[in-house]
Amino acid sequence: MTEAGPKHEAASRTDRALRVLLPFVVLGLGVVLWGAVVHWRDIPPYVLPGPVLVFDTLVADWAMLSEALLVTLTTTLQGFALAAVGGIGLAVLFNQSRLIEYSLYPYAVILQVTPIVAIAPLLLVYLPQPAAVLACAWIVAFFPVLANTTLGLNSVDRNLADLFRLYGATRRQVLWDLKLPAALPYILGGLKIAGGLSLIGAVVAEIAAGSAGAGSGLAYRIVEAGYRLNIPRMFAALLLLSLAGIVIFFALSLVSHLLLRRWHESALAREV
């Protein structure tokens, strides 16, 4: 199989290049098609602005939009951080005490299954607006962290657990040296979901708060631009929101990859 080596390598390199390139090709085609349709059908900008106009609006309104982006991102990251700490912390607490788990787990589920859009207006009644927005981001994001961490903590190799017992490990050693490392891939999976969800939570709360008359985040800007029929600005703000989501996803994927690449199956290079 002397010839297969380089050929195989070349094939896998082509495959990797395609994986990166093809989404961009589709994006390019989509934008060109969008522009062409707007141009040929002569669609007015207050119905559907073309890509060039959206980009121009993004540049023109950059001062306002970037400020709004910063507000939304701050809320998102705070919500995410609280969700990570709360989700992992609660899962560890549940794992250490069955009674606490029995007492609180149903309420974590109830918090998760009640639509956040329905909770947000109530939170805005009882909490100052920034706290309410943050609470929304947290509520949406924390459950996947809790559920995944719980699953991870319970997925410890039984023989390894026996080995720890054999050598007289303390509860603390079992938690830090066995359960948490074993749960790490699950925790990171939960965090990856939570990153996207905390952005959704922040956006939902901003929209709810926007109708209450306050707020300066990106979602609020979208609502405001909608009222003013400033459709190009809605698109520009939406573009920023989805870029923020993409960046969050890739940042968390990168962290996950760096932490797991030496040992976990999920981080192994895929054989083509």
> Where does this chain bind another protein (CB under 8 A)?
157, 159-160, 162-169, 173, 177-178, 181-182, 184, 262-265, 268
- CB of 225 within 8 A of CB of 242? no
- Of 62 and 263, nearer to another protein (C-beta) is 263
Question: Which residues, including other chains, have CB under 8 Å from residue 28's CB and lie 6 or more apart?
Answer: none
Rounded to a whole number of angstroms, the minimum distance from the CB of residue 137 to another protein is: 31
- CB of 166 within 8 A of CB of 178? no
Rounded to a whole number of angstroms, the minimum distance from the CB of residue 178 to another protein is: 8
- Of 67 and 157, nearer to another protein (C-beta) is 157
Nearest to 123 by CA among 88, 93, 79, 68: 79
- Of 7 and 165, nearer to another protein (C-beta) is 165
- CB of 269 within 8 A of CB of 98? no
Rounded to a whole number of angstroms, the minimum distance from the CB of residue 6 to another protein is: 24
Give the angle 151-156-162 at the CA atoms, nearest 5°: 150
Rounded to a whole number of angstroms, the minimum distance from the CB of residue 177 to another protein is: 8
- Of 169 and 214, nearer to another protein (C-beta) is 169
What is the rounded CA–CA span in Å between residue 102 and residue 198?
26
- Of 148 and 198, nearer to another protein (C-beta) is 148
Place of tokens 């947290």: 138
Rounded to a whole number of angstroms, the minimum distance from the CB of residue 184 to another protein is: 7
- Of 172 and 228, nearer to another protein (C-beta) is 172
CA distance readout (Å), 131 to 1, 178, 207: 63, 36, 15
Rounded to a whole number of angstroms, the minimum distance from the CB of residue 87 to another protein is: 21
Q: Buried b / exposed e across 66-101, counting CB within 10 Å, b at 16+? A: eebbebbbebbbbbbebbbebbbebbbebbeeeeeb
Give the angle 106-108-113 at the CA atoms, nearest 5°: 90
Tell me the two tokens of residue 81.
């951080």
Rounded to a whole number of angstroms, the minimum distance from the CB of residue 189 to another protein is: 15
- Of 86 and 152, nearer to another protein (C-beta) is 152
What is the rounded CA–CA span in Å between residue 230 and residue 266?
45
